[in-house]
Structure 1
Amino acid sequence: MTRGMADKRKLKSKRMILIFLASIVGGGFVWAFITAWLITTYSEQASTRISDAAIILGAAVVGNEPSPVFRERIEHAILLYHQGAVSQLLFTGGAGSVEQRSEAEVGRDYAIAHGVNPADIQLETQSRITEENFKYSIGVGEQAGFHTYTIVSDPLHMKRAMMLASGLGMDVVPSPTLTTAYQTWRSKLPFLLRETILYMGYVCKGWIDNPQQP
């Protein structure tokens, strides 16, 4: 084999590698775009089913007050409660530190102040992330006799939330907030990017954990 032929083969190999890498990167961008589009379109899905309880996903609190994002979720759950779409509210979310009150406790107090019967409220105060919101709520719900749930969260959060809850075997339907603190694309875009990355990550995790599933 001449030196020229060897150089040509090396160049061809490098090109094939670059094409392969470019295909992976390009495919990743296409997948991300499709995922973001699916998340955005799913944000408009809202079920009218009557469930045993609304499960309100926690968000930040400031002292004894819910953040604007959390307040939107609480008020939407209160609306469902007063409309009779749910008979109980299950607030989720732990505390950031020992000195702070849990998100669930702050949500409960806000709901009681706005006409919800304290006897119709359940709390889950251990979780830190969305997956834990559902994981720790299962036991609370079982003890309270809940079988069906309506998930309350921000519209762009709903697709991933539904995926996580369904993956844990929960009977859930979506009910995104009618309004959201993420009102401009300057605030929506980072949230959408985050949800897209996390959703794709959970999909990949599912493929790894269950390689036989399509």
Structure 2
Amino acid sequence: MGVRAGSLVGRVVGALVLAVVLLVVSTATAIWWTARQDAQPASDAIVVLGSAQYNGVPSSIFEARLEHALALYEEGVAPVVVTVGGKADGDQFTEAESGRAYLTEAGIPEDALLAVEEGVDTLESMRAVGAAFDERGWSSAVLVTDPWHAMRAERMAEDAGITADSSPTRQGPAVQTRATQFRYILRETAAYLLYRATGESIAGAPGIG
């Protein structure tokens, strides 16, 4: 009996390990697949996920997102661009404020820009964007972020009541090398699974929290 019980336990443990491995692999594959997509339907707004800024100047990751949002706006994807993100302790500017200033200088009219200056991670920012959309009667958005961040951003936006598609930027440090891409996919896999399991987000490198 003891041998049989031990064999059964071993099979159960093996099955659980296999299930976890399959879940991780399938999630990573879905993140990779979503990263390769580029949806640009006509929407209420283009939402640019914030990233680091330095004294009001967007980081290279953030700048790549803003330039892509500018191109989408000029193509007529949406009449408004929403910049998103709060500020860290000690910062003078929010990510949203820095993004709005960048796009204003790039030629987008001020009345076509909305800064949602809340959130220290994607989840907080998306909830704030959802509230801003509710106030204005908006329902649809094209999200601009890094490719590996797109699937989790879409899920969080949809959970905030937004019909979301993503058009990831193909420029910037997040897509420069295969090693960088692999590292981002691993981190996003962990972040996505944590969110689906707990409903919570994690803080991390720009675009990860």
Is the Cα contact below 8 Å between 1:122 and 1:140 reproduced in 2? no
Q: Which residue of 2 aligns with 1:196?
A: 189
SS at 1:151's partner residue?
Answer: strand
Find the counterpart in structure 1 of residue 180 from structure 2: 187
CA–CA distance in structure 2, aligned partners of residues 145 and 168 of structure 1: 14
Aligned structure 1 segments of 4 or more residues deviating by more than 4 angstroms = none
1:90–1:184 distance in 2 versus 1, CA, 3 Å:
same
The match for 1:163 is 155
Deviates further, 183-192 or 137-146: 137-146
Amino acid at match of 1:190: R
SS at 1:187 equivalent: helix
Task: Work out which of the two has the higher radius of gyration on C-alpha atoms and give 1 or 2.
Answer: 1
2:21 corresponds to: 29
- How far has the Cα of 1:178 moved from its partner? 3.0
CA contact (8 A) 2:130 2:161 kept: no
The more displaced of 141-150 and 28-37 is 141-150
Residue in 1 that maps onto 2:30: 38
Q: 1:99 to 1:68 in 2, by over 3 A?
A: closer
Cα distance change of structure 1 residues 102 and 185 upon mapping to structure 2, 3 Å threshold:
same
1:90 aligns with 2:92: no
- Percent pairwise identity: 27
- Partner AA of 1:130 in structure 2: T
Letter in 2 for 1:156: W
Mark the CA change 1:100 to 1:23 in structure 2 (over 3 Å): closer, same or farther: farther
CA distance in 2, matches of 1:150, 1:196: 22
How far does residue 145 in structure 1 lie from its aligned partner after superposition? 4.4
SS at match of 1:131: helix
Q: 1:29 to 1:104 in 2, by over 3 A?
A: same
* 1:21 CA drift (Å): 1.7
Q: 1:139 offset after TM fit, Å?
A: 2.4
> Cα offset for 1:153?
0.8
- Corresponding position of 1:105: 97
Cα pair 1:123 1:140 within 8 Å, conserved: no
Give the counterpart letter for 1:186 in structure 2: A
RMSD in angstroms over aligned alpha carbons? 1.7
Q: Structure 2 CA distance, aligned partners of 1:136 and 1:168?
A: 9
Match of 2:202 in 1: none
Letter in 2 for 1:89: V
Map 1:116-135 → 2, pairs under 5 A: 116-135=108-127
Q: Could you state the TM-score of these two structures normalised by the residue count of structure 1?
A: 0.85
**What's the TM-score, normalizing by structure 2?**
0.87
**Partner residue of 1:60 out of 28, 52, 55:** 52
3-state SS of paired residue (2:173): coil
